């Protein structure tokens, strides 16, 4: 699903888009940062941003990377240099507005933006997202606010970001710059800033970011999951009822779930985990299970109906990966236990490299999930489960492939493992805090 948020500077687009993406579990794409990064490169090269020909010539040297740190913060790289802070200074704002007028610049950046939007559910923020880049977006928002209000916000933002410069910032100058940029953005012949006819317009002058987000959330089209096959559906409801009745199964965080391909990465504590996790999802999912599980009476039959695929040899088997990839490339979800085997003591074990490998090959998002309670009900040391207990499942925000797309294989593998481990630990903590004391 693609949501686009357009509008002039200072309407709160970035804050709103970032938080909206977080709430929906989508990725957030700030296209203004791309134009700013081009402007930064132009200035670094000593080229006058007003010299269209020289700017166009520099474009072939432009490389752009977004790296996401373990805690989810994004860092922007222009031509290999971290420019996250440097691109926010007023001089770059002005130069960005200038270079954004050139068709050569726009065409090359739009190509990159569309490429990112192909596979992902994302909130794109910019000026021409709804009119040019994604004319078929699922939801288009256009934010406005009075120039005065926008200048007040910009001043506050700059004061917070650059406390050293606070004394030199003048409100009148910022207002003037905003009006100048509006003029540039709205009057340029190539992709001028304008509301798409089918965009919802929200005036943010008197609204807080939270109020704007609330308004947008009401407009987001409902997720559509494909209907389950009859055999899956019947076993799904039977198994779900069993876990609900005997083990008071509770599921949290489903707002993080969305249709389409995905790797559901969960902690592994018990043979109950695959069926518990399957019936906690709102759509059909697939999982791999050891051959031996299919020989356990009843459980074997149930898991077969729940799209389980027997693995004859070790899970690192090449044919297993091929099967998984086929399912993911078909736009479906697969449950994976990145620890590789059940925990012997109830604690999270080190994650294996299969998960990053599959993410890199499939480019699908990871949906982290934490299962609590199955260890005390049916740990690895026990032949049979207890018939009582409490099981809780919680899903976290998806980890998007785009966060790693520009990294080399090694870096991506390391970061995917770190992010997944942290997501699982955070979910475990969240569940602990939710328990009545």
Contact (Cβ atoms closer than 8 angstroms) between residue 28 and residue 136: no
Least distance (Å) between residue 45 CB and ligand DC: 18
Please compute Rg for the chain using Cα positions: 25
Least distance (Å) between residue 97 CB and ligand DC: 3
Among 1, 15, 185, 280, binds ligand DC (CB under 6 A): 185
150 binds ligand DC (CB under 6 A): no
419 binds ligand DC (CB under 6 A): no
Residue 163: both structure tokens together: 């406390």
Among 31, 78, 239, 420, binds ligand DC (CB under 6 A): 31
192: number of CA atoms within 13 Å, CB side? Answer: 8
**Length in residues, the chain:** 437
Which is closer to ligand DC, CB of 182 or CB of 428? 182
Site string for ligand DC, 119-138 (x = CB under 6 A): -------xxx----------
Least distance (Å) between residue 426 CB and ligand DC: 30
Burial class (CB in 10 A: 0-12, 13-18, 19+), 259: middle
Least distance (Å) between residue 164 CB and ligand DC: 21
Task: Output the DSSP codes for 57-112.
Answer: HHGGG--EEEEE-TTS-EEEEETTEE-TTGGGSHHHHHHHHHHTT-HHHHHHHHHH
Distance CA 108, CA 120 (A): 20
Distance CA 281, CA 262 (A): 12
Long-range CB contact pairs, 82-85, < 8 A, 24+: 83/36, 83/37, 83/40, 85/161
Least distance (Å) between residue 28 CB and ligand DC: 13
196 binds ligand DC (CB under 6 A): no
Least distance (Å) between residue 292 CB and ligand DC: 54
Q: Point out the residue whose Cβ comes nearest to ligand DC.
A: 32
284 binds ligand DC (CB under 6 A): no
Which is closer to ligand DC, CB of 106 or CB of 421? 106
Which is closer to ligand DC, CB of 122 or CB of 288? 122
Contact (Cβ atoms closer than 8 angstroms) between residue 390 and residue 373: yes
Among 26, 28, 35, 404, binds ligand DC (CB under 6 A): 35
5 binds ligand DC (CB under 6 A): no
Which is closer to ligand DC, CB of 33 or CB of 293? 33
Residues 70-109 that bind ligand DC (CB under 6 A): 96-97, 100
Tell me, by CB under 6 A, how many residues bind ligand DC: 13
Stretch that binds ligand DC, among 29-37, 210-218, 367-375, 408-416 (CB under 6 A): 29-37
What is the maximum span of the chain, computed from C-alpha positions, in angstroms? 77
Distance CA 113, CA 68 (A): 17
Distance CA 246, CA 390 (A): 8
Cα separations in angstroms, 124 against 112, 116, 228: 12, 10, 31
Least distance (Å) between residue 148 CB and ligand DC: 17
Among 9, 196, 235, 427, binds ligand DC (CB under 6 A): 9
Among 36, 150, 153, 333, binds ligand DC (CB under 6 A): 36
283 binds ligand DC (CB under 6 A): no
The alpha carbon of residue 168 and the mean position of all alpha carbons in its chain are separated, in whole angstroms, by 37
Cα separations in angstroms, 86 against 75, 76, 157, 180, 271: 11, 10, 15, 21, 51
- Binding residues for ligand DC, rule: CB under 6 A, are 9, 31-32, 35-36, 96-97, 100, 126-128, 181, 185
């Amino acid at each position: 699903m693609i949501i686009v948020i357009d509008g002039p500077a200072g309407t709160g687009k970035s804050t709103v888009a970032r938080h909206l993406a977080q709430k929906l579990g989508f990725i957030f794409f700030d296209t203004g940062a791309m134009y700013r990064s081009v402007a930064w490169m132009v200035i670094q090269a000593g080229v006058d941003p007003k010299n269209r020909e020289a700017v166009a010539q520099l474009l072939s040297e432009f490389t752009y990377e977004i790296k996401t740190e373990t805690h989810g913060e994004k860092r922007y790289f222009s031509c290999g240099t971290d420019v996250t802070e440097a691109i926010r200074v007023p001089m770059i704002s002005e130069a960005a507005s200038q270079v954004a007028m050139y068709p050569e610049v726009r065409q090359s950046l739009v190509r990159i933006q569309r490429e990112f939007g192909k596979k992902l559910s994302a909130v794109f923020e910019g000026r021409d997202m709804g009119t040019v880049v994604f004319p078929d977006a699922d939801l288009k928002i256009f934010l406005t606010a009075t120039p005065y209000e926008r200048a007040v916000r910009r001043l506050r933002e700059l004061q917070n970001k650059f406390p050293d410069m606070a004394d030199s910032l003048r409100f009148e100058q910022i207002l003037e710059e905003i009006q100048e940029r509006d003029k540039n953005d709205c009057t340029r012949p190539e992709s001028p800033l304008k509301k798409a006819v089918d965009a919802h317009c929200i005036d943010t002058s008197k609204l807080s970011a939270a109020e704007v987000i609330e308004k947008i959330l009401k407009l987001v089209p409902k997720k559509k999951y494909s209907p389950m096959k009859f055999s899956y559906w019947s076993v799904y409801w039977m198994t779900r009822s069993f876990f609900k009745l005997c083990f008071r199964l509770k599921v949290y965080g489903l707002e993080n779930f969305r249709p389409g391909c995905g790797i559901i990465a969960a902690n592994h504590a018990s043979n109950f985990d695959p069926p518990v996790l399957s019936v906690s999802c709102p759509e059909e999912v697939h999982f791999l299970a050891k051959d031996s599980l299919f020989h356990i009476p009843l459980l074997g039959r149930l898991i077969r109906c729940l799209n389980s695929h027997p693995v004859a040899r070790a899970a690192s088997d090449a044919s297993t990966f091929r099967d998984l990839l086929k399912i993911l490339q078909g736009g479906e979800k697969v449950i994976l236990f990145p620890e590789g085997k059940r925990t012997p003591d109830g604690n999270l074990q080190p994650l294996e490299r299969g998960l990053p490998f599959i993410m890199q090959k499939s480019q699908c998002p990871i949906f982290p999930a934490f299962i609590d309670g199955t260890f005390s009900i049916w740990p690895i040391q026990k032949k049979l489960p207890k018939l009582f207990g409490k099981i809780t499942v919680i899903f976290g925000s998806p980890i998007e492939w785009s966060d790693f797309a520009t990294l080399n294989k090694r870096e991506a593998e390391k970061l995917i493992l770190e992010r997944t481990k942290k997501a699982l630990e955070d979910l475990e903590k969240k569940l602990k805090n939710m328990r009545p004391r």
